[in-house]
């Protein structure tokens, strides 16, 4: 049975906090490479596993106007808190001290709970089924 992916904003609402996620640019337009073949994604996932960083696949920020295929996005289950050792460890792995990415084809983002709350109506029972009927 296929695994259902949660949108990153739904994860933020569920956890009631800001959340971190990774976006793999070469898996999106115009490149559309298979995310499973991206060396950067494999390397990052292996590092997360070896360091005990909890992560899972997720969908991008949900939209009612755009339908996207899964492009390898990853939710990182580490609080966005610059004083947190786990966050600093992940940040140091992903970014240089000046804030630029160590992986040129990866985006490292924070979805704030405030922004995620704009889609609370998506959490209503049957919302996506009704949306699909009218798509």
- Quickly count: other Cβ atoms within 10 Å of residue 37's Cβ: 11
pLDDT over threshold 80, residue 47: yes
pLDDT at 3: 62
What is the Cα–Cα distance from 104 to 106, expressed in whole angstroms? 6
The bridge status of strand 74-76 relative to strand 55-57 is antiparallel
pLDDT of residue 64: 86
User: How high does pLDDT run on average in the chain?
Assistant: 92
The pLDDT of residue 133 is 83
Q: Sorting pLDDT into bands at 50, 70 and 90, what band is 58?
A: very high
pLDDT at residue 2, rounded to an integer: 56
Of 106, 111, 131, the C-alpha closest to 13 is 111
Residue recorded with tokens 């699909």: 132
Q: What pTM does this model have?
A: 0.89
């Amino acid at each position: 049975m296929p695994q259902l992916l949660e949108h990153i904003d739904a994860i933020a609402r569920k956890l009631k906090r800001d959340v971190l996620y990774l976006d793999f640019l070469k898996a999106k337009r115009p490149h559309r490479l298979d995310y499973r073949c991206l060396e950067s994604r494999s390397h990052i996932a292996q590092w997360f596993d070896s360091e005990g960083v909890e992560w899972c696949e997720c969908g991008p920020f949900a939209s009612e106007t755009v339908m996207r295929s899964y492009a390898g996005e990853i939710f990182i289950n580490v609080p966005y808190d610059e004083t947190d050792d786990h966050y600093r460890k992940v940040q140091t792995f992903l970014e240089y001290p000046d804030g630029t990415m160590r992986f040129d084809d990866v985006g490292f983002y924070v979805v704030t709970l405030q922004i995620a709350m704009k889609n609370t109506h998506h959490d209503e029972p049957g919302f996506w089924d009704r949306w699909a009927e009218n798509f």
